[in-house]
Structure 1
């Protein structure tokens, strides 16, 4: 796990899975792939296999050793719901998130359909916990918007959208059942530009829907130069406590949680 993450909307990262494959335009300039491939071929390096998919079972219990509560981005260097990740391994990740409920876990995927499938097969009491936030990436209309409908059908205590990199005007976005919206532009030497009008449209829609809005960055070749202010201010809104909302609307578990013993 990495503490003190540079990602503005989280505090730390946890990577029990490494590596991924590209599936949509948002993946084109993947920062995680660029980083991982620098180390390919180096023996004993965590990314000596580059960005090839790799399960890291020795990382499963890491959050248990972090006593201070923090927001944790799960698999910042991968996608938990790739086809190559067995459902039992995914279950072990959820088990850890249940065993260390003092943290908040931000699970983000582009494989919305598999997330829905897996989370529907796992015990509801394991998945639908207030500390576990499930989200999808939304970069454009063709690939990104359909993921939102799938997310709505996924069992979760809290659902969020990471609209980054925002590659075009999304038009009207259905935010029913969505608890948090993050928006950001692409960064890096080949960054595709994001227009202010696209961002303002999403801000207005979030306001109309009563959904907290977090503006991550303008991005660009030198993202620090462009900053992250919008309309002369920063937007660092977070969703209302899922714990409080779960207490107000308790979820009836269909099955008991089976907590595996993790190495």
Structure 2
């Protein structure tokens, strides 16, 4: 668990505990579970896992990074990559301690990405309230999950007022239209929201996409490159920062030439299995490295913020 990270959308990774329970299709190829099972020899996944608190020396890294950020006059972003912040099985006492340390490290930006955004409000309030230097994120791998998780994310953002709200569509396993999120249904009446443009209420402030990678016996499922393009274009139209992390093991045949297994989607688009490194992280030859403003919402208009 090194200080630096190869994740393109954050500066550091750090986790208050280790472990989680798989709850969605995006969890099938969990890199964190594979890492713990193979390299670190600790199985912490599942409903009865220990969710072991990380060491005291490891926790002191946050204060060290905060001093570094202050001295450099910048913000360092930190992602808890080996746990879910709103995990039902995690010790609430560790979460309270974690949130207290967040408040003591104001030059760090904590990126709280979760597959359980429905738990955010109650668990944050039980931990003393969401720190101002925390952003709320939700993983959405297809439209069905997006309809559920975006609604919970935006409701939580309305109540908790995070630094910003974001979505990680990685691994992207199906098309997602963030401009048409099913927000509620009552009989034949359906409320659909544009989660990228609505300015009278909370909206998504940042979108990350990525393809899946192999993890042990789990082989990556291919992503249709048009799904990436559609999200990219919707973000551009709404002025929402867009970040494409990786294509994964598969990449559009128009993006990378050479040998490799071909998968054809129903729309006729084809991807080639080249491996993560060769597949890269470009879409139509372009990298997308959009990042949100990290200022608290009290200091900037949520609807006027530039990406």
**Which TM-score band (shorter chain)?**
0.7 to 0.9
* Unmatched tracts of structure 2, length 5 or more: 70-75, 182-194, 250-272, 303-307
Shift of 1:122: 4.4
The answer to whether residue 237 in structure 2 is matched with residue 208 in structure 1 is yes
The answer to whether the 8 A contact 1:116-1:151 is kept is no
Quick one: higher RCO (CA 8 Å, sep 6+), 1 or 2?
Answer: 1
1:193 to 213, 222, 225: 222
Shift of 1:61: 3.8
2:85 matched residue in structure 1: 80
Shift of 1:207: 1.6
Distance 1:136 1:3 in 2: 24
Considering fraction of residues, name the structure with more strand.
2
* Unmatched tracts of structure 1, length 5 or more: 40-46, 251-263
Shift of 1:77: 1.1
The answer to whether residue 99 in structure 2 is matched with residue 94 in structure 1 is yes
The answer to whether the 8 A contact 1:133-1:158 is kept is yes
1:68 matched residue in structure 2: 68
Distance 2:43 2:291 in 1: 34
Distance 1:132 1:112 in 2: 14
Distance 1:23 1:248 in 2: 35
1:140 matched residue in structure 2: 142
After superposition, give the CA deviation of every residue in 1:212-237 in whole Å (9 maximum; x if it has no partner). 00011100161111111112211101
Shift of 1:248: 3.9
2:252 matched residue in structure 1: none
Shift of 1:123: 4.1
The answer to whether residue 152 in structure 2 is matched with residue 159 in structure 1 is no
Distance 1:207 1:68 in 2: 34
Shift of 1:162: 0.6
SS at match of 1:3: coil
- Aligned-residue Cα RMSD (Å) equals 2.1
SS at match of 1:242: coil
Distance 2:210 2:171 in 1: 6
Distance 2:151 2:96 in 1: 23
